[in-house]
Structure 1
Amino acid sequence: MTRTERLFKLMQALRIVPPPATAQALADRLDVTARTIYRDIDALRGLGAVIDGAAGFGYRLIEDAALPPLNFDEDELEALVLGLREVEEVGDSTLAEAAQSALAKLRARLPQTQAHRLDHAVLSAHRFTPLPQSGVDTARLRRATWEEKTIRFDYSDAEGRETTREVNPLSVVLMQSSLCLLAFCHLRNDFRAFRLDRMRGLDLTGASFRPRRATLLRDCLAAMTCDTGQERAPQAT
């Protein structure tokens, strides 16, 4: 890790770790020594960051010089908190950490009065019944979807029948009580929804379906709407 990368990560840690953040807590997060944290805090202050505190007492980021302030109205703040908290609850560990980081960046860009409202928002999200554990690496699945790469995996349907599927992944959505992959299935030659907890052994085939994902996803979503206008999920077989 370069020094620039470390300073950037230290700024992120100062946004995330509850203040006052001790040098040791910051060091543990960055996997460096406390002495390195002391030097890097001085470097950040020299670059313009306003960081309150001292060795032995902990640190608090007062002003983030790298980001200009933003202003949101009360409802916008509530919507942002609710959305990011929901991601923390239903997303995989990578997305949950990203949501936490995004919330910290948002807090750093708000005026002090709005930052207080952000910390004490009325709306939040808590899931008391956890989602079923995904059977595949969801971060890898998202990356393959974004890069429009055809994937292969083993799938077990509701009756326990096992098949190997090759699909064009289109989107990962929360359907009722589980995360599902919307995809065009080569085996069925149709759109299908696959529960992530029933998928195993995710592999890339080497084939690409770029630039068709946006079109296929639009067609898939259209297929989810019946003649009555009621939405239905593509069949998960």
Structure 2
Amino acid sequence: MRKAARLFEIIQILRLARKPITAAEIAEKLEVTPRSIYRDIVALQAMRVPVEGERGLGYILRPGFDLPPLMFSIEETEAIVLALALLARTGDEELKTAAQRVNRKITGAVPQPLRQAFHSQALHAWGTIAAPPPAVDLAMIRRAIRDEQKLALDYRDELGRTTERTVRPLALIYYSEHAMMVAWCELRQDIRNFRADRVEHCEPIGAFFRGEGEKLRQAWIAGWKINAVRSFASSGTV
């Protein structure tokens, strides 16, 4: 976690705490060392964030300090609650953890009447929970998509044949049973779909396709439209 994000998380933890919370307790929540939290507390105090307390005794956030409000309607809040619940059904462990942090942040920022929506247990996402793919980290794929970095992978198709590919990852599709990576395949010279659970090995390489990602995504989306027209035409609808 980057320091800026960690500082924000510490503020959220202190805002929601009902009693002084120690650096060790904060460190456990954020999966860092207490020493890092001590340094972060000093940094927050230097930025005039009213954190008070001492080592060993715990820290509190003095009343009156607040972040800019999040203005959500009841319906918008319920949409967020359900979206976060749906994330828990994916096999992306990093996104599931991020969803928990989002829940804490919003709970601490919205007015009391809206907080109830996050705790009421009135909205549920039900169904199959996807298992994390055994040989690839979905968080790594998402980073490669953002950074427009090529990936080398060993891929096993539905017939059990394995090929070595260099791909340009463009998108991730989360199904209830598995995740699918959409990528430009340099072996096939075309856009291909790769089921994450069939990837036997995957790692980023020191090559990028910066500036090409959005153009390739648009070509992928255009392919949807072409296939949809063909499908309707063949069925006699168009």
TM range, normalised to the smaller chain? 0.7 to 0.9
Instruction: Identify the residue that residue 205 of structure 1 maps to in structure 2.
Output: 205
Instruction: Identify the residue that residue 161 of structure 1 maps to in structure 2.
Output: 161
Instruction: Identify the residue that residue 70 of structure 1 maps to in structure 2.
Output: 70
Q: 1:172 to 1:62 in 2, by over 3 A?
A: farther
Q: Does 1:100 align with 2:107?
A: no
Note the aligned Cα RMSD (angstroms). Answer: 3.9
Which amino acid letter does the alignment assign opposite residue 79 of structure 1?
A: A
Write the distance in 2 (CA, Å) between the matches of 1:82 and 1:61: 30
Aligned match of 2:34 in 15, 18, 32? Answer: 32
Which amino acid letter does the alignment assign opposite residue 76 of structure 1?
A: E
Q: 1:171 to 1:21 in 2, by over 3 A?
A: farther
Q: Does 1:149 align with 2:149?
A: yes
Structure having the larger proportion of residues in helix: 2
Which amino acid letter does the alignment assign opposite residue 75 of structure 1?
A: E
Unaligned runs of 5+ in 2: 233-238
The residue correspondences of 1:1-237 to structure 2 (distance < 5 A) are 8-14=8-14, 23=22, 25-26=25-26, 28-29=28-29, 31-32=33-34, 47-48=49-50, 65-120=65-120, 122-131=122-131, 133-175=133-175, 177-225=177-225, 226-228=227-229
Which moved further from structure 2: 169-178 or 148-157? 169-178
Q: 1:176 to 1:146 in 2, by over 3 A?
A: same
Write the distance in 2 (CA, Å) between the matches of 1:6 and 1:102: 13
Q: Tell me the secondary structure at the aligned position of residue 90 of structure 1.
A: coil
C-alpha deviation, 1:204, in angstroms = 2.6
C-alpha deviation, 1:197, in angstroms = 1.2
Which amino acid letter does the alignment assign opposite residue 117 of structure 2?
A: R
Write the distance in 1 (CA, Å) between the matches of 2:4 and 2:80: 30
Which amino acid letter does the alignment assign opposite residue 32 of structure 1?
A: P
Contact 2:150-2:169 within 8 A present in 1 as well:
yes
Q: 1:102 to 1:91 in 2, by over 3 A?
A: farther
Instruction: Identify the residue that residue 235 of structure 1 maps to in structure 2.
Output: none
Normalising by the residue count of structure 1, what TM-score does the alignment of the two structures yield? 0.74
Which amino acid letter does the alignment assign opposite residue 106 of structure 1?
A: I
C-alpha deviation, 1:96, in angstroms = 1.3
C-alpha deviation, 1:132, in angstroms = 5.1
C-alpha deviation, 1:20, in angstroms = 6.4
**C-alpha distance after superposition, 1:210-229 (max 9, x if no partner):** 11111111211222342447
Q: Tell me the secondary structure at the aligned position of residue 164 of structure 1.
A: strand
Q: 1:88 to 1:49 in 2, by over 3 A?
A: farther
Q: 1:134 to 1:179 in 2, by over 3 A?
A: farther
Q: State percent identity of aligned pairs.
A: 31
**C-alpha distance after superposition, 1:138-190 (max 9, x if no partner):** 22221111111121100011111100111110011113521000011111111
Q: 1:229 to 1:22 in 2, by over 3 A?
A: farther
Contact 1:88-1:100 within 8 A present in 2 as well:
no
Contact 2:91-2:133 within 8 A present in 1 as well:
no
Instruction: Identify the residue that residue 235 of structure 2 maps to in structure 1.
Output: none
Unaligned runs of 5+ in 1: 232-237
Contact 2:153-2:165 within 8 A present in 1 as well:
yes
Write the distance in 2 (CA, Å) between the matches of 1:123 and 1:230: 36
Which amino acid letter does the alignment assign opposite residue 104 of structure 1?
A: R
